[in-house]
Structure 1
């Protein structure tokens, strides 16, 4: 079981079992959503993720894509998309132990910033 939260602690989450996958995402939408040069996600079956505390706010950033965040502190928490039905992608940085979720792949690597070396 993995746990995490937003910056202010208003929203907590629990993910049962290991993630299906972990990956960096280099797409421009993730960069704009997080303000970071790259995002790191862990993908879980939606049925294995529970939220508690405050309600997750969502924003449809493009057709079929919903990004979740804390409405109080603004922390980026989730990505859900029609391309991956039944999955919730949780931002690795929001986990209590992000060191245990090292990314093993790259999504949208063609959008990688030229100066980013991983």
Structure 2
């Protein structure tokens, strides 16, 4: 996760207990990363401070998911987007880049 225009970045996650990873900015960006995260459902809180005179901080979130593929390299994966906000998102799967749109649920 990268916050451009941030003075610092704090990422808190909870599966059972809250764990925090923090980073001060280097240059114009603060970066927090974690590898080997066990599968599961997590609550996430993100906060930090913007640099002086910065009115907008761009937050870039990069995530990876392992999937099983068949002998031809084909796979199916369905992602539950109910917790994601509506909007346009850029995704990169195996070097293939696409833009997807998540639409709000009809009431």
TM-score (norm 1): 0.27
Which structure is richer in relative contact order (CA contacts within 8 A, separation 6 or more)? Answer: 1
Q: Which has the higher helix share?
A: 1
TM-score (norm 2): 0.29
Larger radius of gyration: 2
